[in-house]
Amino acid sequence: MDRPTQPFDQLRRPLGVLRLSLTARCNLACPYCLPDGAEPPGLLSLEERRALVAAAVALGAGSLRLTGGEPLLNPGLEALVAAVQPLRARGLREIALTSNGVLLTSERARALRAAGLDRLTLSLDGVTGTAVARMAGLSGGDADTRRRRGEAQLEQVLAAIEHARSAGFAAERGQIKLNAVIQRGANDDQLLPLAGLARQRGLELRLIEFMDVGNRNGWRPEAVLSAAEMVGRINRRWPLDPVGRDPHGTAIRWRFRDGGGHLGVVASISAPFCGDCNRLRITADGIAYTCLFGSQGTDLRPWLRPSPDAEALERTLARLWRQRHDRYSEERTALALGDQRPAPAEMAYLGG
């Protein structure tokens, strides 16, 4: 049987990005994510993960994003990055990693670069020990103890940025970026300090609205600081000019007028971008989800075990994608008014 051509979903969206989770665990307990404490059963092997990436690339995915939980907890990370390098000849253009940065040592950064990683996005939700501790879910001890632990974590992330730079990741070419989830009443006082830090370090800062992913994070609309308000606050301090959003991109980008680099905002709540979303997510145990807010996935392990069946995998993913009609962020208002929403999967399980 012939292999499928590049599929389009029910809204004529192509498959372009595979977000592959390597673990559901994390070394932090950020309250907007709240990861699992243990792995789900049946984690994928290196061979199985490579087969999934190959199938997605065959169907048009040019970008691979390695996620978690915290992907640096996976000891096979570098081996996977190296194993998918031959897929560049078939259309894989970029391999990126999203990490909280705490475990990114100088040695690990060099190993990832040598294996063929193109880009790193590190997470930091504050610039003070108190804010970092709060947003990382650091608990135990008194406030001063938590502050000191937050300061230590902040130093680890700042060091990770420099480790990445020394390993050859070029921030000026967008190869190191900084993510920050901003939650009203929790860390919105960190907005300008984070922007100042990113400008000082020559990094593009991506500000992310607090999202209603999963069931654990206590999301409520009034805790969302909208992208427009974030941009407005920063623009009053450092004037911004609009750049726009790339096709299929998640971030609306702005340029600092004084030459201080770029800023991005991910407005999944206030300005949804479902219309050209091209991302497929596969969990660490091989379940495919066609939306970050999805409640049901498709188990791909029958086509991976006892050994991967490349053609069957491609046909299964193509069929899944052609059936896709997800646009939860655009439908959120109607659902809030009373429509029933099935219980969604958790962010750390889906790979963020």
Enumerate the domain spans of the chain: 17-350
Q: Report the pLDDT averaged over residues 24-48.
A: 90
Which stretch of 76-80, 190-194, 311-315, 332-336 has the lowest confidence by average pLDDT?
A: 332-336
pLDDT at 324 over 80: yes
pLDDT at 316 over 70: yes
**The domain 17-350 belongs to what CATH superfamily?**
Aldolase class I (3.20.20.70)
Report the percent of the chain where pLDDT is more than 70. Answer: 96
pLDDT of residue 342: 67
pLDDT at 349 over 90: no
Count Cβ neighbours within 10 Å for each residue of 131-164 and write b for 16 or more, e otherwise: bbbbbbebeeeeeeebbebbeebbebbbebbebb
- Report cis status (omega within 30 of 0) of the bond before 306: yes
pLDDT at 147 over 50: yes
pLDDT of residue 329: 87
Report helix, strand or coil for 53: helix
The residue type of 65 is R
Q: Report the pLDDT averaged over residues 235-254.
A: 96
Q: What's this model's pTM, rounded to 2 decimal places?
A: 0.94
Cα–Cα distance between 25 and 35 in angstroms, integer?
6
Average pLDDT, the chain: 93
pLDDT at 89 over 80: yes
Split at pLDDT 50, 70, 90, the class of 337 is very low
Report the percent of the chain where pLDDT is more than 90. Answer: 82
